[in-house]
Amino acid sequence: MRISNKLEISSNITSIIMNNTGIGLRLFHGEYVEGELRGSGAALLRSYWDYGGIRRYWGNGAFEFTSIYGDLAVYVIRGYRGVIQGEFKVRGFSGVDELGDGSINVKHEGGLMRIKATQPINLRVMNNGFSLTINVNDELKVAAAGGGQVNDVDKVLNDESIIESKRRLWLSTLMSNINGSDLIKLCWYVILTNRCSVPNHPALRKPFNMPSKYVFRHQWLWDSSFHSIVLRHYDVNMAMEELENLILNQKPDGRIPHEIFMSKESCKSFWGIDDYSPWTTQPPVLAVAIDKVLSVRWNDEFAEKAFNALTKYDEWFRSQRDRDSDHLYAYFDPLESGWDNSPRWDEAIRRFRENPQRYEVYGKLTMTPVEAVDLNSLIYLQRRVIAKLAERLGEVNVAEHYDEMADETAKAVRRIMWSEKDGFFYDVYEEGHELIKVKTPAAFLTMFTGIATGEQAERLVAHLLNPREFWTTFPLPSVSADESTYDPTGYWRGRSWINLVWFTYHGLRNYGYYEEASRLLNKVLEVMGRSMTCNENYNSSTGEPMGAPDFGWTTLIIDMVASELGKESPGAAFHYGTLLS
């Protein structure tokens, strides 16, 4: 597989993005080390990415090559005369040791990273990292390595083809059974290579998928749930393993945390908490993922772990997120919703900031509690999954109890969140159940979970197919296009996200709207295929790829294509053709 002008390459926790404005690159070693090497500007003539690495040719005669295997990376530049400069920030930085052979050991929170070049490195150490300068006369090679590969830097400096060959073999083996369009192959590449392991980490004890190795370099709750849904088509054991850290990091009170950081310092700097996880959770997609994975192959041990984790998690929601005991559950922070800066939360944030003392009874929160339609749809489905697991595990009374609670939540969603006038489901404030009249695709999760009545689903589909609302160039903007807050480039204020497409696609199929579901998927595939990207999100008006590159849950299109072709059993060897009408 070869892609012109693709700038990203990764392996395990080390990754590189080539500079898009000139010679050089940005390098990341997990959350521990990040920095850049940059040279003088030039006109790019051509660039291509393949399994072996990235090659670029410049108008000033320079040639660049970079590749990574494991946590060993190499960068080569030839035909260049000038200065290469770099600046690196290090988390948990405890200094740099300059070794006698010209290499440097960078000491960070997770261990050390070694950097060595074929030309002398002029080093300057700072409080939170270091900078370097290298004078180049025609050729420079730089190797960087972490973990057990620090002693391999000399090998790749002597012959960079070693790392290229190993990378090609690794990826050729990994992708050997993948068929279909180039876009589908790219998505498989993304989900399979976003996987990593951090030996001896106190929290990330099992291999997992980073959402993007270039931006989001630790584990998230709902991201990993989506990842496992895709991975079950490739290797069900890998899919189960993707969820292990989430279960292992469940808190004593039952909460499954929002994210699990690689760097404790990173968690502390962002959340102010001396831990690997913050105080929040995320949308409870975990039960959906568990059900999907176990539907491929039942595993007694995993099912028992999952059942215990989900029941404790549901108990936490009941004790911590339903103060009015109405069977509807609230988000306390925009970030735990997963919808970060959505207009759904604008007024709730304003109300809280206007009078924070009013909400002291809730404990820690950053907005007026919002009973969200997507959260409660997922809680409903979580309870159905718990009941299903309980019945399979012989806990009949538990199954009946959770089915009854699920019914109560579904009734409350239909009674309190539905606007008959608008034909739409809205979030509500926990206090007083006032509708928050911001139209978003969260409403379509009532179809994914089966909460909506047939009549309600019909009215929702009319909103979906309206070009003035959700049927944009890249369909399903995170805010309806006729809302005053709509911005097609806004993060959760109008960009389109594939996870919302996935919920809606399956919701349509649940209610018999197969043609509409196919149209939705084909429209998405067509736009993504034009740019040959698997990005975090897309401009809903133009289809321009936005956000983080090589984003894990965007590979959910693989699962939708599998459904479209009637391939719900595992095995990556499906022939995924291009589904364009």
Residue-wise DSSP of 533-569: ---SEE-TTT--EESSSS-GGGGHHHHHHHHHTT--S
CA distance 286 to 124: 46
484-489 — which CB contacts under 8 Å span 24+ positions?
485/343, 485/346, 485/438, 488/539, 488/540, 488/541, 488/542, 489/539, 489/546
State pTM to two decimals: 0.96
Residue 539: both structure tokens together: 């401009």
Residue at token pair 């083809």: 161
Domain range list for the chain: 3-173
Residues 35/17, Cβ–Cβ less than 8 Å:
no
571's tokens: 């095995």
| Token pair for 349 | 């944030």
Distance in angstroms (rounded) separating the CA atoms of residues 361 and 356: 10
Question: How many CA atoms lie within 13 Å of 461's alpha carbon, on the beta-carbon side?
Answer: 24
**How far apart, in whole angstroms, are the C-alpha atoms of residue 124 and residue 217?**
27
Residue 42: predicted pLDDT = 86
Q: Amino acid letter at 475?
A: P
Q: Are strands 179-180 and 575-576 parallel, antiparallel or unpaired?
A: parallel
What is the separation of C-alpha 540 from the centre of its chain, rounded to a whole number of angstroms?
19
- Are 203 and 276 in contact by the 8 Å Cβ rule? The answer is yes
Residues 248, 323, 282, 504, Cα dihedral to 10° = 130
Task: Write out the two tokens for 158.
Answer: 């002597």
Torsion of CA 335, 341, 345, 348, to 10 degrees: 80
Q: d(Cα 239, Cα 201) in Å, to the nearest integer?
A: 20
pLDDT of residue 577: 31
Residue-level pLDDT at 1: 87
Residues 6+ apart with CB under 8 A from 202: 276
What local confidence, expressed as pLDDT, does residue 567 receive?
Answer: 67
Per-residue pLDDT in tens (0 to 9) along the chain, 581 residues: 899 989 999 999 999 999 999 999 999 999 999 999 999 888 999 999 999 999 999 999 999 999 999 999 999 999 999 999 999 999 999 999 999 999 999 999 999 999 999 999 999 999 999 999 999 999 999 999 998 999 999 999 999 999 999 999 999 999 999 988 999 999 999 999 999 999 999 999 999 999 999 999 999 999 999 999 999 999 999 999 999 999 999 999 999 999 999 999 999 999 999 999 999 999 999 999 999 999 999 999 999 999 999 999 999 999 999 999 999 999 999 999 999 999 999 999 999 999 999 999 999 999 999 999 999 999 999 999 999 999 999 999 999 999 999 999 999 999 999 999 999 999 999 999 999 999 999 999 999 999 999 999 999 999 999 999 999 999 999 999 999 999 999 999 999 999 999 999 999 999 999 999 999 999 999 999 999 999 999 999 999 999 999 999 999 999 999 999 986 543 333 332 333 22
Burial annotation 530-552 (CB, 10 A radius, 16+ → b, else e): eeebbbbbbbbbebbbbbbbbbb
The DSSP secondary-structure symbol of 99 reads P
Q: Which residues of 153-164 are buried (b: 16+ CB within 10 A; e: fewer)?
A: bebbbeebebbb
Helix (H, G, I), strand (E, B), or coil: what is residue 501? helix
Beta-strand relationship, 111-117 and 104-108: antiparallel
